[in-house]
Amino acid sequence: MGFFISRTWRLPKIVWFLIIFELPFTVANLALFGIASPKLYRTILWRVGGEKGFNSEPSTVLYS
């Protein structure tokens, strides 16, 4: 017939604790790895943006 999902379903307190506990470590890791090799991330994002048409590709010379 169908699936029953309780309307009163909520995340248990332990799950909320783990999410809040993990967030600062995730942000810190992203910041540290982004600072460690910014050119890598910038180049990849720039190339993908050029392929999707959002901006120019890194291999394209804009000003000569």
Neighbour count for residue 53 (Cβ, 10 Å): 8
**pTM for this one?**
0.46
Percent of the residues in the chain that have a pLDDT greater than 70, as a whole number: 78
Return the pLDDT at 23: 97
Domain assignment of residue 64, yes or no: no
Return the pLDDT at 31: 87
Domain assignment of residue 46, yes or no: yes
- Number of domains comprising the chain: 1
Structure-derived torsion over alpha carbons of residues 17, 21, 26, 28, reported in degrees to the nearest 10: 160
pLDDT, average across residues 22-37: 89
Amino acid identity at 3: F
Between helix 13-36 and helix 38-52 the angle, nearest 10°, is 100
Domain assignment of residue 61, yes or no: no
Return the pLDDT at 64: 60
- Structural domain boundaries, residue 21: 13-52
Domain assignment of residue 34, yes or no: yes
Rounded Cα gap, residues 60 and 46, in angstroms: 11
Domain assignment of residue 41, yes or no: yes
In the predicted model, what is the mean pLDDT of the chain? 80
| 34 — pLDDT class (breaks 50, 70, 90) | confident
